[in-house]
Amino acid sequence: MKLIQTLKNIWKIEELRRRLTITFLFVLIYRLGCFIVLPGISPQDLEAMRSFTNSGLMQLLDMFSGGAFSQASIFALGIMPYITASIVIQLMGMVVPQFQKMQREGESGRMKLNQYTRYLTVLILLVQAPAYLVNLQYQVNAAGGHASISWPMMIFLSIVLTAGAMFIMWLGEKITDKGIGNGISIIILVGIIARFPGALVQEFTGRLNTAQGGLVMFLVEIVILFAVTAGAVMLVQGTRKVPVQYAKRIVGNKQYGGARQYIPLKVNAANVMPIIFAQALMFIPITLAGFGARGSEGGFWSGFAATFSDMNGFWYNFVYFLMILAFTYFYTAITVRPKDMAEQMKKNSGFIPGIKPGKKTEEYLDSIMSRITLPGSIFLGIVAILPAFARFFGVNQQFAQFFGGTSLLIIVGVVLDTLQQIETHLMMHHYDGLMKSGKLKGRAH
C-alpha cells in the first residue's frame, strides 16, 4: 500500500525523522501545559470560565489556545499576543524608515526585528494578563462563586501568564528551527484540532435529539463541510503561470538557457496569514474592555466590545471581511516582490514574451498579482465568514467554526505547508512524494 510505503520512507530519512520527533515532543509539551491550572483556581472557578467561553468570540479565543483559556491554564493567553506584536512590527516596517532598513539587512535585520517583536509581545501580555484575571474573577463571582484575587496574587499570576505565553512563543520558534514547518502555525493548528472531536460529537448528538430528519441533516452538514474544505484547498493551491523565455548563452563548450519556463504566481500568495492577522486584531476590543467583564457597566468600550464580540453580527463580519482583504494585499506585497523577480530574470537573460525586461516586466508582474489577488482575497474573506451562515441555519456554535472561517483555513493551509516540507525531504532522497504525481500542486518549482 502506497501510504504505508511512504510512511516507511519518511522513517528511513534520519533528518526528517528527527524533525518530526522534535515537533511531536514540543507539541506534547504544549498540550500538557494547557491543562496546568493557575495557582489558587478551584474547579468551581473553572466551571464558570467554561460557561463564559461556550459561545461568541471567547469561544474562538479558547479554540486558538487549545482550551487553555477556559481551563485557566498557565498557557491561557496562547500565541495570539505574539501574532499581534508581529502584525505591529510588520506594519511599522511599511512606514518607519529604521524598520525598513532592518528589513533590507537580511538575516541580521530579521534577528533585530524578531527581538523587537518579543519585547512588544511582553508589553501586550502585561496588559492582557491582568485583564484576563479581572475577567476570571468577575465571571466566577457572577456564577455564584467567591473568587477574590489580591493585588500581590494578581501580580504573581500575571507574571505566570506572561511567562507561559512567552514559553509557547519559544516552542513555536524551536519547532520552526529544529522541527517541521512553521512552529507558530502548527501550535495554532494543534489547538484547533484538539477542539474538533468534541464539536463533532456535540453536533451529532444534538441532531439525533432533533424530532425529524436529524441524522439526514448531520450527513448533509458533513457533505457541505467536505465541499468547503475542497474549496479552501483550491484557494490555497491555486496559481497562474507566467511564461518566461530564457535566451541561449554559450559558456565554453556548454549551452545554457533557450528553454521556456513558468513562474507560478499564487492566487493566494499570503496563504492563511491574513486570516490569522485579522483575527488577532479582532480580539483587541475585548482586551480594551477588560474582556467584556462588566457588561453594560463598562460604558463605551463595553458596548464597542459587545458589538465586535458578536460573531453572528453584521459589523463583526463586515469589518472582519474588509480586514482580510486589506491584509491579503499587505502580506502579498511584502512576500511577493515583482522588482526582485524582474531583476533576477534580467540577470539570467530571461524575459516575458512581448514585455521588455526591467521596469516594464516589474509593472507587468505587479499588475498580474493585483488582478489575481483581488478574487483570491474576496474568496478568502467569504470562506472566513461562512461560520456565521452555518450558525444561522442551526449548526452548533463549536461545530460551525469548522465550516470555513479561521479554523478551516488554518487547518488546510498549515497541513498543506507541512506536507510540502515532508515531500521536499522525500524528493531530495529520491523517494516518491505524498501525492500520485510526486508533487503537491501549487508548490514552487
pLDDT in tens, 138-149: 776 766 666 677
Q: How far apart are the C-alpha atoms of 335 and 339, rounded to whole Å? A: 12
More confident residue, 53 or 183: 183
pLDDT at 25: 93
Q: What is the CATH number of domain 213-445?
A: 1.10.3370.10
- Cα separations in angstroms, 245 against 240, 338, 346, 415: 16, 17, 11, 34
Q: Is the Cα dihedral 86, 88, 89, 91 positive or negative?
A: positive
Cell matching residue 25: 515532543
pLDDT, tens digit (0-9, with 9 covering 90-100), for 192-231: 888 788 888 888 888 877 756 678 888 888 888 888 888 7
- Cα separations in angstroms, 285 against 26, 281, 310, 322, 391: 32, 8, 12, 17, 23
Rounded to two decimals, what is the model's pTM? 0.73
pLDDT, tens digit (0-9, with 9 covering 90-100), for 363-374: 888 888 888 888
pLDDT at 121: 92
Closest CA to 419 of 231, 181, 232, 238: 181
Closest CA to 25 of 219, 196, 174, 240: 174
Residue type, 144: G
- Report the CATH architecture of 18-196: Orthogonal Bundle (1.10)
In contact, 353 and 263? CB cutoff 8 Å: no
pLDDT at 122: 93
Mean pLDDT (the chain, rounded): 77
pLDDT at 136: 76
The structural domains of the chain, with segments of one domain joined by +, span 18-196, 213-445
In contact, 41 and 69? CB cutoff 8 Å: no
pLDDT at 26: 92
Cell matching residue 291: 474582556
Q: How far apart are the C-alpha atoms of 266 and 332, rounded to whole Å? A: 10
Tell me whether domains 18-196 and 213-445 share a fold.
yes
